[in-house]
Amino acid sequence: MSIRTIAHGAGWSGPLALFAALLIAAILLIQPKARGAEPSGAAGVASLAAVPATSDCAALAKVDLVHIGGAGSVINSAVETVGAQQATVCAVEGTLAPAIKFRVELPTKTWTQRYLQTGCGGLCGNLNIRIGAADGCPTVDASGFVVASSDMGHEGMDGDFGRDPQKRADFAYRGVHLTAVAAKALIHAFYGQGERFSYFSGCSDGGREALVEAQRFPEDFNGIVAGAPAMNFVVQNSLYHAWQARSNTGPDGGAILLASRLPILHAAVLKACDGLDGQVDGLISAPGQCRFDPAATVCRGGQDPSTCLTAQEAEVARRFYAGPRDPKTGERLTVGGPQYGSELQWAGVYVPMAADQPIFSSIIANGSMGNLIFSNGQPATVDKVTFDHATFERLVERYRLFDSTSPDLSAFADRGGKLILFHGWADPHISPINTIAYNDALKATMGEARAASFERLYLMPGMGHCSGGEGPSAFDLLTPVMAWVEGGRAPDAIVTRTPTQTTMFGLPGGGHPGPAGPPPGAKGAMPPRGAMGPPPGMPPQPTGPARSRPVYPYPYIAAYTGTGDPNAASSWMRGRAVNVQVPAWAGTGLYRPYQGVTG
């Protein structure tokens, strides 16, 4: 059975049907500046009384949304049900014209006067509320938030929606903003009062949406958590993934480097670089210090080929790390590639299980370029891309629409807004250098002291895209951003732990939407890494220890104290600062203040 047939049988259609499955596992009630509240305990989170509903759930079906989304905006349903935390909620689903679907869940008895909106992954197109970066968050566990999310104005992840200017705008920024406006109107109607504090949490495209909110609509949220943000949307979904796919495609059209060979490369990287951060633990905390040449893995005379790579395979890895450059000038066309230590996470992204299986990066690029990114629709496929400056200049025509790289967050900061960024060092989909570049741009634009007053960046060793990977990837950033907003307590170290729940398609429990491989049953499908063993075709890998580890705000890395269990966070302290030098590249100017367009 073909992949397209499988996707069609699941209810998806169009040229990006598979993309849908792969990535799923990826108002104007102006909010006043947050009022002060007494902090509760050391965490600094305000102690707010639970407010019960003052309206029947069914009555929310009559709330008028026309003044928010325009003619045709309606509440489709309002029903009482049991939410994810087993508390009774009023679940409201509606449409903001022309086609933005949203869902809001309002606790009937446990609401602590806070609103939380979550982002989606990939090209969105599905309506799910998944709260990530909140492992063990007491307010989440007690069902203290009104929570909401949006499908961003279209159904399914078929990129054909990009042909419609309205749907492009809805996906770019309108869906996330109007959902916030509508949710706040429902809060007023249900509880008879507004929220005290509003938060947003998202990863991947949800991270892009988070930054869209801080940049375009600074009045919407008091605190924002943005993970692995796809802020460089146009470059990421064209040149980055097109290069990764092209680099691993042989003359016969098949893949050169396969997943079963990745442990050889990864072991060599660890041997060369694992100890550079001061601890040999299978994790690389400072990839920028790593000096590794994939040629070192090439088989020498008489060497067992199962223990080394061919010259062609090593060249693929070199191209992955290096990224595309203009052939005449040598100019970098992307800000960064996958980092040393991420090799096992390449499986299912730009390294398939078998040579005759599709390369997921091709699916990403082919689904985004023609309809969404290039205004004339060309090039539409990976095989037609020319990696040069001229192509770069054409693809950024729509960056002001889709991207969220403007570092001028003055309006957000002036309102007391707080922003926490996070990214996994082993992310194969979006290089963490993107997020470091944004952190640098914030400091350059607003000054280091001003930036430090409202923004933090956390880089997780060994973590993949939004979650998963060899490093501890379960953590709570929602409570720290709440404590910063509500109690003025700026975050320092956060503790990451080995997940205890099954990870599926980048979703630890109810976590972040983020692509991690084909859907179950599809050709090339694989179980989630770190939860059910390695993908088919890869040799068994030793299971790492259950561990916890502090992560400090960038540029600091954790250092082992020299005593105690190295797998326990208590045995670690703040180490040295390790700054990453972001290279000059064709898109350096994208990280400068700009006003987004609406076309």
Question: Quick check: is 597 in a domain?
Answer: no
Asked if 478 and 385 sit in the same domain, the reply is: no
SS3 state at 131: coil
**Pairing relation of β-strands 494-497 and 548-551?**
antiparallel
Question: Quick check: is 314 in a domain?
Answer: yes
CB atoms within 10 A of CB 547: 18
φ, ψ for residue 80 (rounded to 5)?
-85, 135
CB atoms within 10 A of CB 13: 15
Which residue carries 């490093």 as its tokens?
Answer: 471
Whether 219 contacts 415, CB under 8 Å: yes
Helices 17-24, 360-368: crossing angle, 10 deg rounding: 120
Whether 480 contacts 45, CB under 8 Å: no
Q: What is the pLDDT of residue 572?
A: 97
ω into 379 cis (within 30 of 0)? yes
Q: What is the pLDDT of residue 255?
A: 97
Question: Quick check: is 22 in a domain?
Answer: yes
Asked if 134 and 275 sit in the same domain, the reply is: no
Residue 226 DSSP label:
E
| Structure-token pair, residue 152 | 């961003």
Measured over the CA atoms of residue 563, residue 569, residue 573 and residue 574, the dihedral's sign is positive
φ, ψ for residue 23 (rounded to 5)?
-95, -15
φ, ψ for residue 106 (rounded to 5)?
-115, 110
Q: How many residues does the chain have?
A: 599
Asked if 103 and 247 sit in the same domain, the reply is: no
Task: Tell me which residue range forms the domain holding 20.
Answer: 3-227+412-490+502-508
CA-to-CA distance for 317 and 549, rounded, in angstroms? 29
Q: What is the pLDDT of residue 157?
A: 80
CA-to-CA distance for 395 and 333, rounded, in angstroms? 11
pLDDT tens, N- to C-terminus, the chain (599 residues): 333 332 333 333 443 443 433 333 333 333 333 333 333 333 789 999 999 999 999 999 999 999 999 999 999 999 999 987 789 999 999 999 999 999 999 999 999 999 999 999 999 999 989 999 999 999 999 999 999 999 999 998 888 999 999 999 999 999 999 999 999 999 999 999 999 999 999 999 999 999 999 999 999 999 999 999 999 999 999 999 999 999 999 999 999 999 999 999 999 999 999 998 888 999 999 999 999 999 999 999 889 999 999 999 999 999 999 999 999 999 999 999 999 999 999 999 999 999 999 999 999 999 999 999 998 889 999 999 999 999 999 988 899 999 999 999 999 999 999 999 999 999 999 999 999 999 999 999 999 999 999 999 999 999 999 999 999 999 999 999 999 999 999 999 999 999 975 433 333 333 333 333 333 333 333 333 332 234 444 544 445 678 999 999 999 999 999 999 999 999 999 999 999 999 999 999 999 998 765 44
Q: What is the pLDDT of residue 396?
A: 82
Asked if 348 and 387 sit in the same domain, the reply is: yes
Whether 566 contacts 279, CB under 8 Å: yes
Q: What is the pLDDT of residue 399?
A: 92
Question: Quick check: is 384 in a domain?
Answer: yes
Please identify, among 508, 542, 571, the residue that sits at the C-terminal boundary of a domain: 508
Q: What is the pLDDT of residue 594?
A: 83
In Å, how far from its chain's centre is CA 208? Answer: 8
CA-to-CA distance for 599 and 457, rounded, in angstroms? 31
Whether 328 contacts 319, CB under 8 Å: no
Question: Quick check: is 495 in a domain?
Answer: no
Is residue 450 exposed (0-12), middle (13-18) or buried (19+ Cβ within 10 Å)? middle
Within 65-132, residue ranges assigned H as helices are 66-69
SS3 state at 276: helix
Which residue carries 């097109």 as its tokens?
Answer: 242
**Pairing relation of β-strands 455-460 and 494-497?**
unpaired
Q: What is the pLDDT of residue 506?
A: 36
| Domain tally, the chain | 2
Q: What is the pLDDT of residue 294?
A: 98
Asked if 452 and 396 sit in the same domain, the reply is: no
Asked if 393 and 453 sit in the same domain, the reply is: no
How close are the terminal C-alpha atoms of the chain, in Å?
40
- Which H/E stretch holds residue 235? helix 233-235
SS3 state at 157: coil
Asked if 12 and 129 sit in the same domain, the reply is: yes
Whether 368 contacts 446, CB under 8 Å: no
Question: Quick check: is 108 in a domain?
Answer: yes
CA-to-CA distance for 414 and 149, rounded, in angstroms? 26
Asked if 42 and 130 sit in the same domain, the reply is: yes
DSSP sequence for 405-456: -----HHHHHTT-EEEEEEETT-SSS-HHHHHHHHHHHHHHH-HHHHHTTEE
| Structure-token pair, residue 270 | 């660890």
Asked if 277 and 301 sit in the same domain, the reply is: yes
CA-to-CA distance for 99 and 394, rounded, in angstroms? 29
| Structure-token pair, residue 244 | 């990764």
Asked if 316 and 381 sit in the same domain, the reply is: yes
Whether 19 contacts 159, CB under 8 Å: yes
Asked if 377 and 427 sit in the same domain, the reply is: no
Q: What is the pLDDT of residue 3?
A: 34
Question: Quick check: is 517 in a domain?
Answer: no
DSSP sequence for 366-403: HHHIIIII-TT--S-SGGG---SHHHHHHHGGGHHHH-
Question: Quick check: is 297 in a domain?
Answer: yes
Domain at 463, CATH number: 3.40.50
Asked if 367 and 473 sit in the same domain, the reply is: no
